[in-house]
């Protein structure tokens, strides 16, 4: 039987794909370039296929290397998670549930929920996977996370939703902005206003479809800023305006660093759900138990994501 690749080969493939150079990949892995070159030759010999081709001083990724890099990301991620699981189990934790929030990285709510979780369920720990916030659905399907807290409805095969709460979208400005005293805003109010968003992909239940498009009124698009927390700071400095979920911006609103208005006179309320893999929906599954407790906690008075 032909020898198979091991963890070291997957690490080197991933490192070279990320850096594009043997020397940079060797530095990343704390080995010599010579040792890494020999390891790469060994991997190609075992696979019987070239992984990289040279172009000037950089390595060009072949389809084989691109595929193996995706496999490496999954395998090495699972290995790292398994190692962490074992360490936690040894400390009295039987299950670790990995969680991510779509788009936002505001976790002011987390300590209160963990206290509620530990009061109602023993032997389960929560791990926040912040890197999964940009593509939570893919992270769920690849098993990088177990629960994605997401806005809207995701009727996708293999996934199930547990409703958590509804939250309004708010138009935010600096306190000194000309629209800062408005109770609500319409599309015509913000024509030409610098507008910062974390995504320019139109969604059917958000400001694109319900504020801008119906009246043909559009703001002046600013460069996309992927972190809503960075958007808050830019808006507070009067460098633009934005629309964000109410729960995620309560702290700067309470501090007086932002002004807000309802989006349209009717308002736009967005449902937030815990999204799980359907296979994890059994009521005795720890993942489902955590999601159910999160839904219960969100309905408690003065709790949930509404407290910011």
Structural domain includes residue 155: no
Q: Which of 72, 102, 126 marks a domain boundary?
A: 72
Q: How far apart are CA 9 and CA 38, in angstroms?
A: 11
Q: Which CATH number fits the domain that encloses residue 51? A: 1.10.10.10
Give the residue among 270, 268, 255, 264 at the shortest CA–CA distance from 174: 255
Structural domain includes residue 80: no
Give the residue among 130, 119, 155, 159 at the shortest CA–CA distance from 142: 159
Structural domain includes residue 151: no
**In the prediction, which pLDDT does 308 show?**
42
- Residues written for the chain: 308
pLDDT by residue for the chain (308 residues), tens only, comes to 778 888 999 999 999 999 999 999 999 999 999 999 999 999 999 999 999 998 877 889 999 999 999 888 888 888 887 787 777 666 666 788 999 999 998 898 999 999 999 999 988 989 999 888 888 999 999 888 999 999 987 668 899 999 999 999 999 999 999 999 999 999 999 999 999 998 877 777 788 888 888 888 889 988 889 899 999 999 999 999 999 999 999 999 999 999 999 999 999 999 999 999 999 999 999 999 999 999 999 999 876 665 44
Structural domain includes residue 106: no
Q: What are the phi and psi torsion angles at 27 (to 5°)?
A: -65, -40
Structural domain includes residue 287: no
Structural domain includes residue 241: yes
The answer to whether 138 and 119 are in contact (CB under 8 A) is no
pTM for the whole structure = 0.71
Structural domain includes residue 288: no
Q: Which of 27, 55, 72 marks a domain boundary?
A: 72
The answer to whether 272 and 165 are in contact (CB under 8 A) is yes
How many domains are contained in the chain? 2
Structural domain includes residue 18: yes
Parent domain of 52: 7-72
Q: Which of 72, 88, 112 marks a domain boundary?
A: 72
């Amino acid at each position: 039987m032909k020898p198979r690749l091991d963890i070291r080969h997957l690490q080197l493939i991933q490192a070279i794909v990320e850096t594009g150079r043997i020397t940079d990949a060797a530095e990343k892995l704390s080995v010599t370039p010579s040792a890494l070159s020999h390891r790469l030759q060994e991997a190609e010999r075992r696979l019987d296929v070239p992984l990289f081709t040279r172009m000037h001083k950089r390595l060009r990724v072949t389809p084989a290397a691109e595929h193996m890099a995706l496999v490496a990301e999954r395998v090495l991620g699972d290995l790292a998670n398994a190692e962490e699981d074992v360490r936690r189990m040894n400390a009295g934790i039987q299950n670790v549930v990995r969680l991510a929030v779509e788009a936002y990285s505001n976790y002011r709510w987390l300590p209160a929920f963990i206290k509620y979780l530990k009061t109602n369920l023993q032997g389960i720990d929560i791990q926040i996977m912040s890197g999964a916030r940009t593509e939570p659905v893919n992270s769920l399907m690849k098993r990088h996370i177990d629960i994605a807290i997401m806005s809207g409805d995701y009727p996708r095969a293999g996934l199930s939703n547990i409703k958590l709460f509804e939250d309004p979208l708010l138009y935010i400005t600096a306190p000194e902005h000309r629209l800062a005293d408005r109770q609500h805003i319409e599309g015509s109010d913000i024509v030409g206003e610098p507008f910062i968003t974390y995504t320019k992909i139109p969604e059917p239940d958000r400001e694109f479809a319900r504020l801008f498009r119906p009246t043909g009124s559009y703001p002046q698009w600013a460069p996309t800023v992927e972190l809503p927390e960075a958007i808050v700071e830019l808006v507070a400095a009067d460098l633009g305006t934005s629309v964000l979920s109410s729960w995620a911006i309560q702290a700067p609103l309470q501090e007086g660093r932002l002004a807000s208005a309802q989006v349209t006179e009717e308002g736009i309320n967005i449902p937030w759900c815990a999204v799980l893999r359907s296979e994890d929906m059994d009521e005795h599954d720890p993942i489902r138990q955590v999601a159910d407790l999160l839904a219960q906690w969100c309905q408690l008075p003065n709790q949930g994501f509404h407290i910011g």
